[in-house]
Homo-oligomer: A and B are copies of this chain.
Amino acid sequence: MTPTGAKTNHHRELEDALTYLPRKHVLQYRRGEVIYDQEKPSTGISLVIRGRVKVCTNLENGSQVVIGIYGNDQFFGESGLTGASAHAEKATTLEPTTLMSWSTAEIEEHIEHQPKLGLALIQMVVNRCLDFEDRLQSLALDKTPGRIALSLVRFSEKMGAHGEDGAVKIPPLTHQLISDYVGTSREIVTFQMNQLRQQGYIRYSRKSIEVYADALRERLRQNAMNGGQ
Protein backbone atom coordinates (compact mmCIF):
# COMPACT_ATOMS: atom_id res chain seq x y z
CA MET A 1 0.00 0.00 0.00
CA THR A 2 1.39 3.36 -0.95
CA PRO A 3 0.35 6.28 1.21
CA THR A 4 -0.56 9.10 -1.13
CA GLY A 5 -3.01 11.32 0.77
CA ALA A 6 -2.81 15.00 -0.03
CA LYS A 7 -1.81 16.03 3.47
CA THR A 8 0.25 13.07 4.65
CA ASN A 9 2.82 14.21 7.14
CA HIS A 10 4.22 10.75 7.67
CA HIS A 11 5.79 10.70 4.24
CA ARG A 12 8.00 13.56 5.34
CA GLU A 13 8.52 12.00 8.77
CA LEU A 14 9.89 8.97 6.99
CA GLU A 15 12.15 10.87 4.64
CA ASP A 16 13.48 13.14 7.35
CA ALA A 17 13.86 10.82 10.30
CA LEU A 18 14.75 7.59 8.49
CA THR A 19 17.46 9.27 6.45
CA TYR A 20 19.36 9.68 9.69
CA LEU A 21 18.28 6.53 11.57
CA PRO A 22 20.37 3.41 11.02
CA ARG A 23 18.48 0.29 10.00
CA LYS A 24 18.01 -2.29 12.72
CA HIS A 25 17.02 -5.94 12.72
CA VAL A 26 13.26 -6.29 12.35
CA LEU A 27 10.86 -7.63 14.97
CA GLN A 28 7.93 -9.82 13.89
CA TYR A 29 4.58 -9.80 15.62
CA ARG A 30 1.51 -11.94 15.05
CA ARG A 31 -1.94 -10.37 14.75
CA GLY A 32 -3.33 -9.23 18.09
CA GLU A 33 0.02 -9.36 19.89
CA VAL A 34 0.79 -6.78 22.58
CA ILE A 35 3.91 -4.76 21.71
CA TYR A 36 3.94 -2.81 24.96
CA ASP A 37 1.58 -1.97 27.79
CA GLN A 38 1.63 -0.43 31.25
CA GLU A 39 3.41 -3.44 32.77
CA LYS A 40 6.08 -3.51 30.07
CA PRO A 41 6.09 0.06 28.68
CA SER A 42 7.76 1.34 25.54
CA THR A 43 11.41 2.15 26.13
CA GLY A 44 12.08 4.14 22.98
CA ILE A 45 10.44 4.58 19.61
CA SER A 46 9.31 2.11 16.94
CA LEU A 47 8.66 2.21 13.21
CA VAL A 48 6.07 0.10 11.40
CA ILE A 49 7.84 -1.54 8.44
CA ARG A 50 4.76 -3.48 7.42
CA GLY A 51 1.46 -3.98 9.19
CA ARG A 52 -0.77 -1.97 11.48
CA VAL A 53 -0.57 -1.07 15.16
CA LYS A 54 -3.28 0.27 17.46
CA VAL A 55 -2.20 2.41 20.42
CA CYS A 56 -4.80 3.00 23.13
CA THR A 57 -5.11 4.11 26.72
CA ASN A 58 -6.71 1.62 29.08
CA LEU A 59 -8.77 2.66 32.06
CA GLU A 60 -9.24 0.66 35.25
CA ASN A 61 -12.91 0.19 34.41
CA GLY A 62 -12.11 -1.46 31.08
CA SER A 63 -12.99 1.37 28.69
CA GLN A 64 -10.40 2.49 26.20
CA VAL A 65 -9.64 5.36 23.86
CA VAL A 66 -7.74 4.72 20.65
CA ILE A 67 -4.86 7.21 20.56
CA GLY A 68 -3.73 6.28 17.08
CA ILE A 69 -3.53 3.67 14.37
CA TYR A 70 -0.13 3.48 12.74
CA GLY A 71 0.64 1.81 9.41
CA ASN A 72 3.59 1.31 7.09
CA ASP A 73 6.39 3.84 7.59
CA GLN A 74 4.84 5.47 10.66
CA PHE A 75 6.47 5.92 14.05
CA PHE A 76 4.76 5.06 17.34
CA GLY A 77 5.62 4.35 20.98
CA GLU A 78 7.44 7.69 21.35
CA SER A 79 6.02 7.91 24.90
CA GLY A 80 8.95 5.60 25.73
CA LEU A 81 11.42 8.38 24.94
CA THR A 82 10.46 10.30 28.10
CA GLY A 83 11.45 7.51 30.45
CA ALA A 84 8.21 8.09 32.36
CA SER A 85 6.67 4.71 33.10
CA ALA A 86 3.46 5.92 34.68
CA HIS A 87 1.71 6.30 31.36
CA ALA A 88 -1.08 3.76 30.74
CA GLU A 89 -0.56 3.20 27.01
CA LYS A 90 -1.00 -0.11 25.23
CA ALA A 91 0.08 -1.01 21.68
CA THR A 92 -1.36 -4.04 19.91
CA THR A 93 -0.97 -5.28 16.34
CA LEU A 94 -4.10 -5.26 14.14
CA GLU A 95 -2.50 -7.62 11.64
CA PRO A 96 0.84 -9.46 11.29
CA THR A 97 3.36 -6.66 11.74
CA THR A 98 7.06 -6.05 11.26
CA LEU A 99 8.77 -3.32 13.29
CA MET A 100 12.09 -1.67 13.93
CA SER A 101 12.68 -0.22 17.40
CA TRP A 102 15.30 2.11 18.85
CA SER A 103 15.90 2.63 22.57
CA THR A 104 16.12 6.13 24.05
CA ALA A 105 19.87 5.63 24.55
CA GLU A 106 20.26 4.66 20.88
CA ILE A 107 18.28 7.70 19.74
CA GLU A 108 20.45 9.92 21.96
CA GLU A 109 23.61 8.41 20.51
CA HIS A 110 22.40 8.74 16.90
CA ILE A 111 21.53 12.41 17.46
CA GLU A 112 25.14 12.94 18.61
CA HIS A 113 26.39 11.59 15.29
CA GLN A 114 23.55 12.93 13.16
CA PRO A 115 22.22 16.13 14.76
CA LYS A 116 19.70 16.53 11.95
CA LEU A 117 17.91 13.47 13.34
CA GLY A 118 17.09 15.59 16.40
CA LEU A 119 15.10 18.19 14.50
CA ALA A 120 13.51 15.51 12.28
CA LEU A 121 12.18 13.63 15.32
CA ILE A 122 11.06 16.87 17.00
CA GLN A 123 9.09 17.69 13.84
CA MET A 124 7.58 14.22 13.73
CA VAL A 125 6.37 14.49 17.35
CA VAL A 126 5.13 18.08 16.82
CA ASN A 127 3.08 16.82 13.84
CA ARG A 128 1.59 14.22 16.15
CA CYS A 129 0.69 17.03 18.60
CA LEU A 130 -1.03 18.89 15.76
CA ASP A 131 -3.06 15.75 14.98
CA PHE A 132 -4.09 15.57 18.64
CA GLU A 133 -5.08 19.26 18.55
CA ASP A 134 -7.33 18.51 15.57
CA ARG A 135 -8.93 15.65 17.43
CA LEU A 136 -9.33 17.68 20.64
CA GLN A 137 -11.07 20.37 18.64
CA SER A 138 -13.35 17.86 16.95
CA LEU A 139 -14.21 16.17 20.26
CA ALA A 140 -14.90 19.51 21.93
CA LEU A 141 -16.99 21.08 19.17
CA ASP A 142 -18.37 18.49 16.76
CA LYS A 143 -21.32 16.21 17.25
CA THR A 144 -20.77 12.51 16.69
CA PRO A 145 -21.55 12.41 12.92
CA GLY A 146 -18.92 15.11 12.31
CA ARG A 147 -16.35 13.31 14.46
CA ILE A 148 -16.88 10.06 12.57
CA ALA A 149 -16.64 11.80 9.18
CA LEU A 150 -13.46 13.64 10.23
CA SER A 151 -11.85 10.43 11.46
CA LEU A 152 -12.50 8.81 8.06
CA VAL A 153 -10.92 11.81 6.30
CA ARG A 154 -7.87 11.60 8.60
CA PHE A 155 -7.52 7.84 8.12
CA SER A 156 -7.69 8.35 4.34
CA GLU A 157 -4.89 10.95 4.60
CA LYS A 158 -2.69 8.76 6.76
CA MET A 159 -3.25 5.24 5.50
CA GLY A 160 -5.07 5.70 2.24
CA ALA A 161 -4.25 4.54 -1.29
CA HIS A 162 -5.86 6.52 -4.09
CA GLY A 163 -8.23 4.51 -6.27
CA GLU A 164 -9.37 5.21 -9.81
CA ASP A 165 -12.54 7.24 -9.30
CA GLY A 166 -11.27 9.59 -6.58
CA ALA A 167 -11.99 7.20 -3.74
CA VAL A 168 -9.25 6.56 -1.20
CA LYS A 169 -8.91 2.97 -0.03
CA ILE A 170 -8.18 2.40 3.65
CA PRO A 171 -7.74 -0.96 5.36
CA PRO A 172 -10.84 -2.34 7.09
CA LEU A 173 -11.53 -0.86 10.52
CA THR A 174 -14.06 -2.41 12.85
CA HIS A 175 -16.89 -0.19 14.06
CA GLN A 176 -15.72 -0.89 17.61
CA LEU A 177 -12.29 0.52 16.76
CA ILE A 178 -13.79 3.64 15.14
CA SER A 179 -16.04 4.13 18.18
CA ASP A 180 -13.04 3.88 20.56
CA TYR A 181 -11.28 6.44 18.33
CA VAL A 182 -14.03 9.07 18.20
CA GLY A 183 -15.44 8.45 21.69
CA THR A 184 -18.92 7.09 21.02
CA SER A 185 -20.73 3.75 21.00
CA ARG A 186 -20.33 1.04 18.39
CA GLU A 187 -24.05 1.23 17.61
CA ILE A 188 -23.82 4.92 16.71
CA VAL A 189 -20.81 4.26 14.46
CA THR A 190 -22.72 1.49 12.65
CA PHE A 191 -25.70 3.78 12.13
CA GLN A 192 -23.56 6.68 10.88
CA MET A 193 -21.45 4.50 8.60
CA ASN A 194 -24.66 3.22 6.99
CA GLN A 195 -25.81 6.82 6.52
CA LEU A 196 -22.49 7.78 4.92
CA ARG A 197 -22.70 4.75 2.65
CA GLN A 198 -26.25 5.55 1.54
CA GLN A 199 -25.19 9.14 0.86
CA GLY A 200 -22.33 7.91 -1.30
CA TYR A 201 -19.43 9.16 0.86
CA ILE A 202 -18.02 5.71 1.56
CA ARG A 203 -18.18 2.25 0.03
CA TYR A 204 -17.33 -1.05 1.64
CA SER A 205 -15.48 -3.67 -0.29
CA ARG A 206 -14.31 -7.03 0.94
CA LYS A 207 -10.85 -5.89 1.89
CA SER A 208 -11.14 -2.15 2.45
CA ILE A 209 -13.26 0.90 3.07
CA GLU A 210 -13.32 3.33 0.13
CA VAL A 211 -13.66 6.93 1.28
CA TYR A 212 -14.64 9.78 -1.06
CA ALA A 213 -12.38 11.99 1.01
CA ASP A 214 -12.68 15.20 -1.04
CA ALA A 215 -16.48 15.10 -0.92
CA LEU A 216 -16.45 14.29 2.79
CA ARG A 217 -13.94 17.09 3.48
CA GLU A 218 -16.17 19.54 1.60
CA ARG A 219 -19.17 18.41 3.64
CA LEU A 220 -17.25 18.93 6.88
CA ARG A 221 -16.19 22.39 5.71
CA GLN A 222 -19.81 23.32 4.94
CA ASN A 223 -20.93 22.07 8.34
CA ALA A 224 -18.19 24.03 10.11
CA MET A 225 -19.34 27.20 8.34
CA ASN A 226 -22.87 26.49 9.54
CA GLY A 227 -21.86 26.15 13.16
CA GLY A 228 -20.57 22.62 13.41
CA GLN A 229 -22.18 19.24 13.00
Contacts and interface: CB of A to CB of B under 8 A. Distances in A.
Interface stretch (A56-64, A162-170, A209-217): A56-64
A159 to B, nearest CB: 19
B104 A108 contact: no
A228 B63 contact: yes
Complex copy number for this chain: 2
A121 interface: yes
How many chain A residues sit at the interface, stated as a range, is 35 or more
Contacts of A89: 133
A27 interface: no
A130 to B, nearest CB: 6
Given A57-B133, A126-B125, A130-B87, A141 B63 contact: yes
B135 A67 contact: no
A136 B61 contact: no
A69 to B, nearest CB: 14
Nearest to A62: B227
A111 interface: yes
Q: Which 6 A-B pairs have the closest CB atoms?
A: A118-B118, A140-B183, A132-B132, A139-B139, A111-B118, A125-B125
Interface of A: 9, 57, 59-61, 63, 65, 67, 78-79, 81-84, 87, 89, 104, 107-108, 111-112, 115-119, 121-123, 125-130, 132-133, 135-137, 139-141, 182-183, 224-228
